[in-house]
Amino acid sequence: MSPKGVNELRLVLGTAMSLINIPDKTINFKLENAKNASIADTTKDIFLYATDDLIALNQEAPGVFYSNKSLWDGEYIPGQSQVQQLEILMPRASLKAGDRLFWFDVKSDGSINNGIKDIKPSEAGYIALAKQRFNLLATSSMANDPRAFSPDKALIAFSNPSAVLASEGIAIGDLSSAAGTKLPNADRFAFALEDSKGNISVSTKDFKINTNPILDNTVVFNASGAGSQVVLAPAEGELFVVDELKYYAPSNAKASTVDFNLDVASFGSYKSGYGLFRVDNQFGDFLFIVQSADGSPQLMALHPGNTNYAKEAFKRSQSNGLDGITGLPVDFAHSTRSTVRLAKGNSYGLYITPDKVFNSPDQLNDPSEILFSVKKANLTQQLQQVSMGTGYFAFEDMGFAGDRDFNDMLFAITPKDPSII
């Protein structure tokens, strides 16, 4: 019986090893024998899945951003925190050489204090004040070329592959990572774009989100025409997170999984295999339970960046279940669609095997033969894909010396049943 005044009791169930997640297990539990009380839900299903935050750039006011604070922050050196790590593409399809991207800190309404009072984005002197706080994120070094691959082309690549052919062999633009740049964690910040003539657009004034919500990593400065697009993928766009709320639909309300369409298109001469693989946290690690010296179970992490990691990723993809899927090469300028069922709350990485198709992890002994969406898993530790939006991955199938058109293998993971949120 509840103490007087208490009209709701919550039951919290934990696992002995808090960090492990088991995507294919569901626990059903039942509450009964209530005395002098009613139980609202007598039975419930519990899914054991990762509880990491969804890493996202959130917008508080127009052009004012903050990044999620991760549960992991206390355990990792801030400089290594994925939360603050941005993948930045300066697409030459919309930018000019010399365009520079900055961030600067603002208050939650976008205003900046000049020492006496807050200056709003609409007030005189705002841009000059913002400029004093600019921190450089990326510079565009390539001449404008509208043929190059872009977020807009990524969107139509699967339904109209011929529209993407113009980008073949044209370098996409400057791709970099904001590693080492300290984007303020949980504080508010804005972005600015300055061209080589000194003209400045700030996100708090001249900014709009791409008109297509799917391209949610693409931000657009200047409203006229296509504007100047920049791709900013939080956590370097390395993983696809099956967020329970984002993909909620009546059809998956009681399931621990979500069904997605997986579209794959190819604009490379290589015949490459590919796969999706489930990882165990937002850093792309694999976690295993091992026995410690005293016989008690202990968690062991396999971090990205070695052949064992590549083998495990490949092994998981070969399960063709909730741990991952594999796929066969797609013809040049063609696309395929399949259905994949992924586990709620879990994160998935992608890989391609340039010009090769492997049948077993044992065949994978040279880490140069596989390219990952997870940067640190690559032999070169370089970005091999651009994430134009949630579930959109555009891979380059050659190394840094290649054509860098980043259209060689394109993936789009979109929900089969539209979310109602």
Residues making contact with Ca ion (CB under 5 A): 267-268, 396, 403, 405, 407-408
Q: What is the closest distance, in whole angstroms, from the C-beta atom of residue 91 to Ca ion in the complex?
A: 15
Task: Decide whether 70 or 387 has the Cβ nearer to Ca ion.
Answer: 387
Q: Which two tokens stand for residue 146?
A: 């509208």
Q: Which two tokens stand for residue 52?
A: 């990491």
Residues contacting 247, CB < 8 A, separation 6+ = 258, 344, 415, 419
Residue 86, beta-bridge partner list: 234
Task: Decide whether 268 or 305 has the Cβ nearer to Ca ion.
Answer: 268
Q: What is the closest distance, in whole angstroms, from the C-beta atom of residue 58 to Ca ion in the complex?
A: 33
Q: Which amino acid is at 414?
A: T
Q: What is the closest distance, in whole angstroms, from the C-beta atom of residue 139 to Ca ion in the complex?
A: 22
Q: What is the closest distance, in whole angstroms, from the C-beta atom of residue 138 to Ca ion in the complex?
A: 21
Nearest to 146 by CA among 218, 95, 222: 95
C-alpha–C-alpha distance, residues 195 and 185, integer Å: 27
Whether 284 and 349 have beta carbons less than 8 Å apart is answered as yes
Task: Decide whether 87 or 408 has the Cβ nearer to Ca ion.
Answer: 408
The whole-angstrom distance between residue 205's C-alpha and the CA centroid of its chain comes to 26
The CA-based diameter of the chain, rounded to the nearest angstrom, is: 76
* DSSP assignments along 90-101, one per residue: EETTT--TT-EE
Task: Decide whether 20 or 166 has the Cβ nearer to Ca ion.
Answer: 166
Q: What is the closest distance, in whole angstroms, from the C-beta atom of residue 329 to Ca ion in the complex?
A: 14
Nearest to 96 by CA among 204, 208, 183, 221: 221
Does an H or E element contain 264, and which? strand 257-266
Task: Decide whether 54 or 164 has the Cβ nearer to Ca ion.
Answer: 164
Task: Decide whether 280 or 396 has the Cβ nearer to Ca ion.
Answer: 396
| Helix, strand, coil percentages in the chain from 3-state DSSP, rounded to 5 | 15, 35, 55
Cα-based distances in Å from 232 to 202, 216, 278, 412: 15, 9, 24, 17
Q: What is the closest distance, in whole angstroms, from the C-beta atom of residue 149 to Ca ion in the complex?
A: 8
Task: Decide whether 110 or 268 has the Cβ nearer to Ca ion.
Answer: 268
Task: Decide whether 109 or 355 has the Cβ nearer to Ca ion.
Answer: 355
Q: What is the closest distance, in whole angstroms, from the C-beta atom of residue 334 to Ca ion in the complex?
A: 13
Q: What is the closest distance, in whole angstroms, from the C-beta atom of residue 267 to Ca ion in the complex?
A: 4
